[in-house]
Amino acid sequence: MKATLPAPLLVDTLAHEAAGRGWFSWVATVDHKRIGILYLLTALFFFVVGGVEALLIRIQLALPGNTFLSPDLFNQLFTMHGTTMIFLVVMPTLIGFANYLVPLMIGARDMAFPRLNAMSYWMLPFGGLLLHFSVVAGGAPAAGWFSAAPLSETPFNSTQGLDYWVLALLVLGIGSVAASLNLIATILTQRAPGLSIRRLPLFVWMNLINSFLVILSFPALNAAIVMLLIDRQLNAAFFFPANGGSAVLWQHFFWAFGHPEVYIMALPAFGMISEVIPVFSRKPIFGYEFVAASTVAIGLLSFGVWAHHMFAVGLGHVSDLFFAGSSMLIAIPTGVKIFNWTATMWGGAIRFTTAMMFATAFLIQFVIGGLSGITFAAAPVDWQVTDSYYLVAHFHYVLFGGSMFGVFAGLYYWFPKMSGRMLSEKWGRLHFWLTVIGFNLTFFVQHFLGLLGMPRRVYTYPKLPYWTLWNMLSTIGAFILGISVLALLWNMFSSLRRGRLAGNNPWNAWTLEWATTSPPPAEDFKWLPPIRGRRPMWDLAHPENRDEKNAAPAPLPETSIGKHEAGMLSFIASESIFFVMLILAYLYYNVISPPSGGAPLALDARKTGVFTLCLLASSATFWRAERSLHRGQHDSFHRWLLATVVLGGAFMVGQGLEYAHLLHAGYAVNSSLFATAFFTLTGFHGLHVCVGLAALLILLRLAALGDFRTSAPAVKSVGWYWHFVDMVWVAVFFVVYMRPLL
């Protein structure tokens, strides 16, 4: 492959690989643009799959008492539709756009970690395959996209479907977290000179905030689903009330992830809208600072309101009161955004291109979804309409009428940059109107169905007044929506072949991605305009009327953090949340709500204390090793590193002895909830120690080979990880071994 290169300006080996031709060059690529396109194509494929699933559901519901689908198949279809659309369509689409655009918009050469980027992408088809493999392995998962316990436990879902669901979500979660920490490191460390964080395009800013949401919320999901997997595979009972577990805890864990996830699917779309509306209104965004800061507010609030998904659980009036209040607060920053976008359009010279039409429809539909969302924040209203079609209508207005419309706006806006050709406006308009009509017909009537009392997730309904009419209308709308997707596909297909050539900047837009060719060369930029404000292309075209007149011409001092540090700190933050969740689970089953019957494990705090000292000492030896490296004393570095490995190994031996002792005494993972929580927490910590040891051994090997050229940041990163693992053990030791002695 490499031999046939047209040999443009190749900067390094990464570009060399990326610029290859043939299908294999797409498999082996580490170029962020190709990876972004791979994300988008995969998401498009699953969009069609999930859409067909939705159409099957709508056919079944078109008439009362329909027998088109069996009840079980219906359950599988709505579970797969939800899971597919969330994890295989919306998230990959948004990550794909971020992958393609963020490096371009910040004037970078590529992502901070191109190989990690490729890994993140390949987790997506892998996860998709795992999820869909369940279909041939006995049946797809059938417990809804949030797999509520105990329905998701083995006695009620005995096929392998849910196990594949868990594995697929783990794989997809790893991919998403990796992509997000890559985005964080990229945005923090790879910006072009002059592009300060305060000048970031809003799409980039929102992706930054969004990436923090991803790395901090996915660990909650991961903790929940590994616990579910332990229940299903090892006969434990974390979430199985019949054996002492707590089904409510599943909901807490899942929604601690699930609510931030709602914003994870919305914020990047907000970012797209924030790019599209100003360009087609010919005005800079109104109140940049407010849009940016309200994003932070939304992100922070999203972690504190998950219990509003649980009003129907029976948490008590006091809890409901607090979460109703905090949930309503979210309307403030979201409202601020809506006003900013509207004010940007106000008095602008609006050009209603297809992208702008989608953005405008987004505004209206997202407000409808937001208003019905506020009604859900009132707990008594929630009790009436939760799990009815009113809810289905609400979240489709947010996710389709909001996020997907934002994505369509972004697609029409950036397609010329990605392909070099314009999408047809004629077909675009057809696509737009079919989508608007189809979408509103499908989902607006579902508000009425919900208020009439039609429950969701039930395969059919009796012949009641108006139910047939609304359902039939909804199904007709769904098919119009299906046809609209065909119009989009045809538009993309035909425009790729015969579309008008785009040129560098077809929209007369202002951000950096429009400064390069369409599509951009492998190295992204041959030349960058000077960056002295938020709209470098505007400043370039209007030097007499720049946005920031007094901006310094010299490059600004940038963040002092390196990409390895940024990446490792993000990873550690993410892992911390994972352990916080496991420790909370341990506390829940041991202190807060211990199951009746059985007794806590008899643990020997003194013996474990000795091995704890080993682990703590290993942190000290690593610190010495790093100091030696800093001073260039390689032998001493080698010795201290070896000591670290030995001490870490000693800790693992200690844990092994303790496990052997406990197993010998008759405790097993499934013998009681105390044991399950203990083995899960310490087991996952042990796993992390092993990962740390593997990294240390690699360093040791490199040190033995005398390779110190690139290892200083690597040693630092591994060191931070190792200290982190030790700190986690201090917390675990206190909670598990010391607390009972207090």
Contact 634, 700 (CB under 8 A): no
Q: Helix, strand, or coil here: 559?
A: coil
> Pick from 489, 556, 603, 605: which binds another protein (CB under 8 A)?
556
Query: What 8-state DSSP symbol labels residue 737?
Result: I
**322: contact with another protein by CB under 8 A:** yes
State the number of binding residues for another protein (CB under 8 A).
Answer: 36
H or E segment to which residue 50 belongs = helix 32-61
x/- letters, 532..551, toward another protein (CB under 8 A): -------------------x
CB-count exposure of residue 68 (10 Å: 0-12, 13-18, 19+):
middle
x/- letters, 415..444, toward another protein (CB under 8 A): ------------------------------
Q: Is the peptide bond before 150 cis (omega within 30 degrees of 0)?
A: yes
Take residue 266 and report the two structure tokens written for it: 């919305």
Q: What is the DSSP string of 181-201?
A: HHHHHHHHH-PPTT--GGG--
- Which window, 43-51, 174-182, 492-500, 581-589, contacts another protein (CB under 8 A)? 581-589
Site for another protein in 184-203 (CB under 8 A): 196-198
Work out how close the CB of 592 gets to another protein at its nearest, in angstroms, rounded to a whole number: 5
Sole residue written with tokens 């190709």:
34
4 or 560: CB nearest another protein:
560
73 or 580: CB nearest another protein:
580
> Pick from 458, 591, 653, 657: which binds another protein (CB under 8 A)?
591
8 or 555: CB nearest another protein:
555
Work out how close the CB of 382 gets to another protein at its nearest, in angstroms, rounded to a whole number: 17
Q: How many residues does the chain have?
A: 742
Beta-carbon count within 10 A of 612 CB: 19
> Pick from 587, 614, 702, 727: which binds another protein (CB under 8 A)?
587
> Pick from 329, 452, 605, 695: which binds another protein (CB under 8 A)?
329
How many whole angstroms separate alpha carbon 437 and alpha carbon 78?
Answer: 23
Q: Is the peptide bond before 201 cis (omega within 30 degrees of 0)?
A: no
x/- letters, 272..291, toward another protein (CB under 8 A): -----------------x--
> Pick from 293, 528, 652, 695: which binds another protein (CB under 8 A)?
293
> Pick from 552, 599, 705, 741: which binds another protein (CB under 8 A)?
552
Distance of CA 593 to the CA centre of its chain: 32
Work out how close the CB of 51 gets to another protein at its nearest, in angstroms, rounded to a whole number: 38
Q: What is the DSSP string of 576-631?
A: HHHHHHHHHHHHIIIIISPPSSS------HHHHHHHHHHHHHHHHHHHHHHHHHHH
Distance of CA 174 to the CA centre of its chain: 9
Closest by CA position to 116, among listed 62, 65, 185: 185
- Which window, 34-42, 417-425, 584-592, 676-684, contacts another protein (CB under 8 A)? 584-592
Work out how close the CB of 301 gets to another protein at its nearest, in angstroms, rounded to a whole number: 7
85 or 583: CB nearest another protein:
583
Work out how close the CB of 323 gets to another protein at its nearest, in angstroms, rounded to a whole number: 7
322 or 479: CB nearest another protein:
322
164 or 253: CB nearest another protein:
253
Work out how close the CB of 568 gets to another protein at its nearest, in angstroms, rounded to a whole number: 15
Question: What are the CA-CA distances from residue 533 to residues 140, 183, 208, 525 (Å)?
Answer: 51, 22, 19, 19
- Amino acid (1-letter code) at residue 680: T
325 or 656: CB nearest another protein:
325
**88: contact with another protein by CB under 8 A:** no
Q: What is the DSSP string of 394-417?
A: HHHHHIIIIIIHHHHHHHHHHHHH
Site for another protein in 492-521 (CB under 8 A): none
198 or 500: CB nearest another protein:
198
489 or 556: CB nearest another protein:
556
> Pick from 48, 52, 135, 297: which binds another protein (CB under 8 A)?
297
x/- letters, 31..70, toward another protein (CB under 8 A): ----------------------------------------
131 or 577: CB nearest another protein:
577
**593: contact with another protein by CB under 8 A:** yes
**738: contact with another protein by CB under 8 A:** no
Beta-carbon count within 10 A of 594 CB: 17
H or E segment to which residue 437 belongs = helix 425-451
- Amino acid (1-letter code) at residue 402: G
Take residue 192 and report the two structure tokens written for it: 């072009």
Work out how close the CB of 297 gets to another protein at its nearest, in angstroms, rounded to a whole number: 6
Take residue 390 and report the two structure tokens written for it: 């009113």
Q: Helix, strand, or coil here: 141?
A: coil
**331: contact with another protein by CB under 8 A:** no
Contact 422, 500 (CB under 8 A): yes
Sole residue written with tokens 């030349």:
527
Contact 735, 583 (CB under 8 A): yes
> Pick from 4, 67, 545, 560: which binds another protein (CB under 8 A)?
560
Beta-carbon count within 10 A of 240 CB: 24
56 or 197: CB nearest another protein:
197
- Which window, 407-415, 591-599, 631-639, 700-708, contacts another protein (CB under 8 A)? 591-599
The dihedral built from the CA positions of residue 289, 292, 296 and 299, taken in this order, carries a sign that is positive
x/- letters, 298..317, toward another protein (CB under 8 A): --xx-xx-----------xx
Work out how close the CB of 566 gets to another protein at its nearest, in angstroms, rounded to a whole number: 12
**476: contact with another protein by CB under 8 A:** no
Closest by CA position to 399, among listed 87, 123, 126, 62: 87
196 or 494: CB nearest another protein:
196
470 or 729: CB nearest another protein:
729
Work out how close the CB of 342 gets to another protein at its nearest, in angstroms, rounded to a whole number: 21
For the chain, the distance separating the N- and C-terminal CA atoms, rounded to the nearest angstrom, is 67
How many whole angstroms separate alpha carbon 550 and alpha carbon 80?
Answer: 55
How many whole angstroms separate alpha carbon 357 and alpha carbon 470?
Answer: 27
Question: What are the CA-CA distances from residue 157 to residues 142, 160, 161, 520 (Å)?
Answer: 8, 8, 8, 49
Work out how close the CB of 200 gets to another protein at its nearest, in angstroms, rounded to a whole number: 12
x/- letters, 109..148, toward another protein (CB under 8 A): ----------------------------------------
Footprint on this chain of another protein (rule: CB under 8 A): 196-198, 289, 292-293, 296-297, 300-301, 303-304, 316-319, 322-323, 325-326, 329, 551-552, 556-561, 580, 584, 587-588, 591-593
